[in-house]
Structure 1
Amino acid sequence: MTDVYTITLKNCAFFARHGVYPEEEFLGQRFYVDAEFDVSAGAAMEGDDIEGTVDYGIAFKVIEETVTTSRHQLIEALALTIAKELCLRFPQIPWARITVRKPSAPVPGILDYVQVSVEHFR
């Protein structure tokens, strides 16, 4: 049996232009991402070797690039794209849960943010 551990990146903040309305594309806004993913350890933990694991600095860059260079109408689609990109970049990730928060959602009311979570299994 292979050991598994979980990496969590919490509250990663990015400026991007996702949303349904033209104003959201034009003005842009801040988005917050939480990424939680399992990693099949292999010999990485026993050998204390970064080569066999997921470098979370690179994982952050994958998330950042996905959020800031693509455009999605739905944060659900954005979250799924992030999860798929992480699993594609790192074959050691069999499962990822991505949460995207949008604090400036165009909702006619007062709220802290709208949040969507997506799970992706390889």
Structure 2
Amino acid sequence: MFVQTVALRDVKFKAFHGFYPEEQLIGSHFLVDVEVTFTPNIDTENLNVTVNYEEINAILTNAMKQTQKLLETVVKIIIDHIIQKYPFIQTATVGIKKMNPPMPGEVGCSFVQLSFKAI
């Protein structure tokens, strides 16, 4: 059996997610990674029977526009939309890095990831 992977890496966004009000005012830079796996269809040239990474990018863009206090909420929204759009996927993993989070010290990024596995 074959398993196909479709992924987007380091998709850059300026967004306003954050627990503190000032984070929601000034915004931050984020990098988003998404990876899904599924059993590929025989018709490998048909976008209607595969995961279209352009549509995955649209899901990311819409989710990143909706300000949330926690990145945990954002990754869950993204995975829920991917599962709804592509109910045949076997796994999905979404990770979001908040670049230079506002905290003491030189922190390159904070990172939240959520994974889904079909039963």
TM-score (norm 2): 0.89
Q: Say which SS state the counterpart of residue 116 (structure 1) adopts.
A: strand
- Per mean C-alpha deviation after superposition, the further-off stretch among 101-110 and 87-96 is 87-96
**Identical aligned pairs, as a percentage?**
26
1:72 aligns with 2:56: no
Match of 1:49 in 2: 46
* Separation in 1, partners of 2:30, 2:116: 20
**Contact (CA 8 Å) 1:83, 1:96: kept in 2 or not?**
yes
* Separation in 1, partners of 2:21, 2:115: 28
Q: Say which SS state the counterpart of residue 34 (structure 1) adopts.
A: strand
Displaced runs of 4 or more, over 4 A:
none
* Separation in 2, partners of 1:120, 1:74: 19
Unaligned runs of 5+ in 2: none
Match of 2:18 in 1: 19
Q: How many residues align?
A: 118
TM-fit CA distance, 1:92: 2.6
**Contact (CA 8 Å) 2:96, 2:113: kept in 1 or not?**
yes
Unaligned runs of 5+ in 1: none
**Contact (CA 8 Å) 2:93, 2:114: kept in 1 or not?**
yes
TM-fit CA distance, 1:39: 2.3
Alignment root-mean-square deviation, CA: 1.5
Question: Which among 94, 101, 122 is matched to residue 90 of structure 2?
Answer: 94
**Contact (CA 8 Å) 2:101, 2:108: kept in 1 or not?**
no
Kindly provide the CA deviation profile for residues 63-85 of structure 1, in whole angstroms up to 9, marking residues without a partner as x.
111111x2221112211211111
